[in-house]
A and B are shown apart, each in its own frame.
Chain A
Amino acid sequence: MDTKYLLEMKDICKSFPGVKALDHVHLKVRPGEVHALMGENGAGKSTLMKCLFGIYHKDAGEIILNGKEINFKSPYDALNHGVSMIHQELEQVQMRNVADNIWLGRYPTRFGQIDDPKMMRDTEALMKDFGIDVNPATKISDLSVSMRQMVEIVKAASWNSQIIVMDEPTSSLTEKETEKLFEIIARLKKNGCGIIFISHKIDEVLAISDCVTVMRDGQYVCTEAVESLDADKLVHYMVNRDLSDRFPKNDAKTGDVILKVENLTTYYEPKVLDVSFEVRAGEILGIGGLVGARRTELMEALFGLRRIDTGTITFKNEKFVPRNSVNAMKHGLALVSEERRATGIIPMLSVEDNANISSLNRCTNRFGFISPSRMRENAQWVIDSMAVKTPSPQTPISNLSGGNQQKVIIGRCLLTEPEILLMDEPTRGIDVGAKYEIYQLMIDIAKEGKAVIFISSEMPELLGVANRILVMSNGRVAGIEPASELDQEKIFKMSAKYL
């Protein structure tokens, strides 16, 4: 293990107005090594990588690549020097094909014209190298997320990259797709690439990486070989909290059935097929399954956002056909949607406006007009009871961290006093500390005699928080079991039942 380092980042510092984002951070990567970079959200992982990649400019410290000090001025500069980055949100031109995307910015030309045949040939050769089966002429928007990611990796490889940074590459992949990704990582490793792997998923990090560097609050914590690490140790490094404390105790008492769904089938593709289940007051029902199991579609159907074909929903002993979201909310449902940025927050509006938008009916005076003082009270209630960290209720919500945005959105739902709270991946992209707080909130809601239905792709979360777990597979219910009788392996098997 005494080979020379491929990349050394030493004492990197970077400040933004009012925050020291990086404080003397180190990162050293050997050739042919998968080096995981871990830490809670806000620990400074992305900032560090952006300093490497030339998106940010470091204030102090040095970056040495292949023994030479470098300081990239732009991502293009970085790419030319063999450093590439796969961003978490893939940055691709949706309406162009695979080959176009790979060669974008450096199209091969012939007599001054773009040489399309060569582009296609080269792309095909690259894909073959990596054992990826995709037609170079396919439009990017027609590919699955995992395939799009593969295309990005191939693109990185086509720049002859020595260092490839992957920012949470598995966050939207299924287990199977993740395996495929790992195969490709192994191949890159064999070619002597150094891979910096950013992930929140501890199991994956332990499985794939050789070495782990942990950061906390912009500071370097430690670098250790993976052999000497385990999940408890890693979590401890990251948050100073033990693994056994990852989930609060769910001690809510369950009551009568309040929602009963029978043989629900939706009208348009992708369809939810013949789904039946029931939920009791005070219960937390987890919905597990692979990405693409149509869990979100089920929630949309319950919330009136997706047309129902057949089947019945009985809500508090009455038949209920949710026509649209307004109608569903009137009946006492509320939804925390999956993509917080795309469908949750209204970025330009303040925390106060975001918190109140679902319950403006409760913010009016006796003439039916908005009462600013009521709005302020409600916003303050959300901030206090959800422990939202915000400078003021008037701060634009986009200035808050992901966890705090999510708390505002949960608060928004609670202000409508729902009987059932639907949550779609409520902790995605949120750091460990904030996750714990959100679990606690879910349990508190259940304790008040309300029901919580939540979708999660993280099995430990399902097992740790839910009373019962419904596993979906390809649009159908693969099984509903009490969480105490399930483990990760069983859930995994169930989710593959109808594939």
Chain B
Amino acid sequence: MNKEFNIRDIKQKLLNSTIYIVLLVLLLVIIAIEPKFLSIRNFTFILQQAAPRIVLALASASICIIGGRDMSTGRQIGLSAIICSVLLQASDYSIKLYPNIPCLPLILPLLLSMAFCAVCSMINSLLVSKLRMIPMIASLGMQMAIYGAMSVYYDRLTGGTPISGLDKSYTRFCQGEFYVVGIRVPYIVIYAVLAALLYWFIWNRTKLGRNMFACGGNPEAATVSGVSVVKTSLMVYLIAGCTYAFAGFLEAGRIASITNEMGNGYELDAIAGCVIGGVSLRGGIGTIRGVLVGVMLLQVINYGLVYLGVNIYYTNLARGLIMLFAVAIDIQKNIKKK
């Protein structure tokens, strides 16, 4: 009898830590094939690539937890990227789009793009919580509207040439790095860590965070408990919008050549990371640690397979399969066994 229980317990523990095991196995396989993979340099690269996605996934996860879904993530990134890059071109750049704008401090364009994205996200929120639209549809509409609007602006302004010639201070902020005891640390990794800490704090140590889990878990119960679902949703989306703006700001500075297509499809990566990390799309469930591991897992596949010289299309195949596997396991965890 006791033995049986132990097996059951072990099974449950294994189920609960599946993604960690998958991540570990994956790393071991890659290392077994190519032992040189095991270097600090490679891990720095992986972290550097994962950093902007982590920032995005944190925002997406918050929205998933409150029971929403945001399909406009990528376009909001693009919007922010265009705003920031247009305003932060170097003053000595010969084909500066707004020659009269002086060299701005970085914070101003960032705040402006935050305002834009916050408004878009808050409209998403109101469409869902006030008008009771299905979150995916509301944000899909928003996605197209943002893309349309920013394309019109982009096309008029640039005639289709990518925006480049960014100010040095801007690109340094995004691409810069420093060394700690000989290990390269890109700034962007630090930003991602700060974002994760901030989000951890919001989720666990603020009323907003607690209310967010309650509203996602059971909106009726939250209402009866005196939690305003509309306000909570508005705040969560607002914070997500600001996060998108920040991510767009970083991406623009990192890539340094921006078109209106930038950010396209980012939402799917972000949501995939969340789901692999155990965030429930039905709302109410999720942890920061899970999101981080989910995003890292996807990134290890990306980077690792490229490193091994595997055809890029196999990477997508692997990512798809891993995501299905993770979700299947996750559902098994929560299904009541009979």
Interface residues in chain A, defined as those with a beta carbon under 8 Å from any beta carbon in chain B: 17-18, 55-56, 303, 305, 324-326, 328-330, 334-335, 337, 342-349, 353, 356-358, 360-361, 364, 369-370, 412, 416
Chain B, Cβ-Cβ closest to A367: B205
B285 proximity list for chain A (CB < 8 A): 348
Q: In the complex the two chains form, what is the Cα distance from A369 to B209 in whole Å?
A: 10
A344 proximity list for chain B (CB < 8 A): 221, 224
Given contacts A326-B226, A357-B211, contact A345 B205 (CB under 8 A): no
Q: In the complex the two chains form, what is the Cα distance from A329 to B226 in whole Å?
A: 6
Q: In the complex the two chains form, what is the Cα distance from A329 to B228 in whole Å?
A: 11
Q: In the complex the two chains form, what is the Cα distance from A353 to B221 in whole Å?
A: 12
Q: In the complex the two chains form, what is the Cα distance from A335 to B8 in whole Å?
A: 40
B338 proximity list for chain A (CB < 8 A): 55-56
Q: In the complex the two chains form, what is the Cα distance from A364 to B285 in whole Å?
A: 22
Interface residue B56 (Cβ < 8 Å from any Cβ of A):
no
Interface residue B207 (Cβ < 8 Å from any Cβ of A):
yes
Interface residue B210 (Cβ < 8 Å from any Cβ of A):
yes
Distance in Å from the Cβ of A203 to the closest Cβ of chain B? 31
Q: Are A357 and B210 in contact (CB under 8 A)?
A: yes
Distance in Å from the Cβ of A408 to the closest Cβ of chain B? 11
Q: Are A370 and B221 in contact (CB under 8 A)?
A: no
B218 proximity list for chain A (CB < 8 A): 342-343, 345-347
Give the residue among B210, B213, B217, B225 with the most A Cβ atoms within 10 A. B225
A347 proximity list for chain B (CB < 8 A): 217-218, 284
A358 proximity list for chain B (CB < 8 A): 225-227
20 contacts between A and B (CB under 8 A): A17-B5, A329-B226, A335-B224, A337-B224, A342-B218, A344-B221, A346-B214, A346-B218, A346-B221, A348-B284, A348-B285, A353-B210, A353-B213, A357-B221, A357-B225, A358-B227, A360-B207, A360-B211, A369-B206, A416-B226
Interface residue B280 (Cβ < 8 Å from any Cβ of A):
yes
Q: Are A370 and B214 in contact (CB under 8 A)?
A: no
Chain B, Cβ-Cβ closest to A361: B207
Chief secondary structure at chain A's binding surface: mixed
Interface residue B136 (Cβ < 8 Å from any Cβ of A):
no
Interface residue B161 (Cβ < 8 Å from any Cβ of A):
no
Q: In the complex the two chains form, what is the Cα distance from A100 to B222 in whole Å?
A: 36
Interface residue B223 (Cβ < 8 Å from any Cβ of A):
yes
Q: Are A342 and B220 in contact (CB under 8 A)?
A: yes
Q: Are B210 and A345 in contact (CB under 8 A)?
A: no
Q: In the complex the two chains form, what is the Cα distance from A412 to B226 in whole Å?
A: 11
Q: Are B209 and A370 in contact (CB under 8 A)?
A: yes
Give the residue among B5, B204, B210, B285 with the most A Cβ atoms within 10 A. B210
Q: Are B223 and A305 in contact (CB under 8 A)?
A: yes
Over the window 252-288 of chain B, the binary record of Cβ atoms lying under 8 Å from chain A Cβ atoms (1 yes, 0 no) is 0000000000000000000000000000100011000
17 additional contacts, CB 8 Å, given A358-B225, A369-B206? A305-B223, A325-B225, A329-B226, A330-B226, A344-B221, A344-B224, A346-B217, A348-B285, A349-B214, A349-B217, A353-B210, A357-B210, A358-B226, A360-B211, A361-B207, A364-B207, A370-B206
B211 proximity list for chain A (CB < 8 A): 357, 360
Q: In the complex the two chains form, what is the Cα distance from A330 to B220 in whole Å?
A: 18
Q: Are B224 and A353 in contact (CB under 8 A)?
A: no
Q: In the complex the two chains form, what is the Cα distance from A305 to B222 in whole Å?
A: 12
Distance in Å from the Cβ of A453 to the closest Cβ of chain B? 15
A353 proximity list for chain B (CB < 8 A): 210, 213-214
Q: Are B213 and A369 in contact (CB under 8 A)?
A: no
Q: Are B204 and A370 in contact (CB under 8 A)?
A: yes
Chain B, Cβ-Cβ closest to A343: B220
Closest 4 CB pairs of A and B: A329-B226, A346-B217, A343-B220, A358-B225
Over the window 189-230 of chain B, the binary record of Cβ atoms lying under 8 Å from chain A Cβ atoms (1 yes, 0 no) is 000000000000100111101110110011011111111100
Distance in Å from the Cβ of A296 to the closest Cβ of chain B? 12
Given contacts A17-B8, A55-B338, A348-B285, contact A343 B224 (CB under 8 A): yes
Q: Are B217 and A348 in contact (CB under 8 A)?
A: yes
Q: In the complex the two chains form, what is the Cα distance from A345 to B211 in whole Å?
A: 13
Q: Are B220 and A325 in contact (CB under 8 A)?
A: no
Q: In the complex the two chains form, what is the Cα distance from A346 to B232 in whole Å?
A: 16
Q: Are B204 and A357 in contact (CB under 8 A)?
A: no
Chain B, Cβ-Cβ closest to A339: B220
Q: In the complex the two chains form, what is the Cα distance from A345 to B284 in whole Å?
A: 12
Chain A, Cβ-Cβ closest to B213: A349
Q: In the complex the two chains form, what is the Cα distance from A356 to B227 in whole Å?
A: 11
Distance in Å from the Cβ of B9 to the closest Cβ of chain A? 9
Q: In the complex the two chains form, what is the Cα distance from A412 to B210 in whole Å?
A: 14
A343 proximity list for chain B (CB < 8 A): 218, 220-221, 223-224
Chain B, Cβ-Cβ closest to A57: B338
A356 proximity list for chain B (CB < 8 A): 210
Taking a contact as CB atoms closer than 8 A, the residue among B8, B225, B280 that contacts A412 in the complex is B225
Q: Are A357 and B214 in contact (CB under 8 A)?
A: yes
Give the residue among B214, B280, B284 with the most A Cβ atoms within 10 A. B214
Given contacts A343-B218, A345-B221, contact A357 B227 (CB under 8 A): yes
A357 proximity list for chain B (CB < 8 A): 210-211, 214, 221-222, 225, 227
A412 proximity list for chain B (CB < 8 A): 225
Q: Are B226 and A346 in contact (CB under 8 A)?
A: no
Chain B, Cβ-Cβ closest to A340: B221
B284 proximity list for chain A (CB < 8 A): 346-349
Q: In the complex the two chains form, what is the Cα distance from A357 to B226 in whole Å?
A: 8
Q: In the complex the two chains form, what is the Cα distance from A87 to B228 in whole Å?
A: 35
Q: Are A324 and B280 in contact (CB under 8 A)?
A: no
Distance in Å from the Cβ of B269 to the closest Cβ of chain A? 25
Q: In the complex the two chains form, what is the Cα distance from A334 to B206 in whole Å?
A: 23
Q: In the complex the two chains form, what is the Cα distance from A412 to B222 in whole Å?
A: 12
Give the residue among A335, A343, A346 with the most B Cβ atoms within 10 A. A346
Over the window 132-172 of chain B, the binary record of Cβ atoms lying under 8 Å from chain A Cβ atoms (1 yes, 0 no) is 00000000000000000000000000000000000000000
Given contacts A17-B8, A325-B223, A344-B224, contact A370 B210 (CB under 8 A): yes
A326 proximity list for chain B (CB < 8 A): 226-228
Chain B, Cβ-Cβ closest to A412: B225
Q: In the complex the two chains form, what is the Cα distance from A313 to B153 in whole Å?
A: 55
Q: Are B225 and A370 in contact (CB under 8 A)?
A: no
B227 proximity list for chain A (CB < 8 A): 326, 357-358
Distance in Å from the Cβ of A391 to the closest Cβ of chain B? 14
Distance in Å from the Cβ of A1 to the closest Cβ of chain B? 37
Q: Are A369 and B205 in contact (CB under 8 A)?
A: yes
Chain A, Cβ-Cβ closest to B209: A370
Q: Are B280 and A348 in contact (CB under 8 A)?
A: yes
Q: In the complex the two chains form, what is the Cα distance from A330 to B227 in whole Å?
A: 11
B5 proximity list for chain A (CB < 8 A): 17-18
Q: In the complex the two chains form, what is the Cα distance from A183 to B217 in whole Å?
A: 42
Q: Are B206 and A325 in contact (CB under 8 A)?
A: no
Distance in Å from the Cβ of A160 to the closest Cβ of chain B? 27
Q: In the complex the two chains form, what is the Cα distance from A347 to B285 in whole Å?
A: 10
B206 proximity list for chain A (CB < 8 A): 369-370
Q: In the complex the two chains form, what is the Cα distance from A325 to B211 in whole Å?
A: 14
Give the residue among B201, B285, B338 with the most A Cβ atoms within 10 A. B338
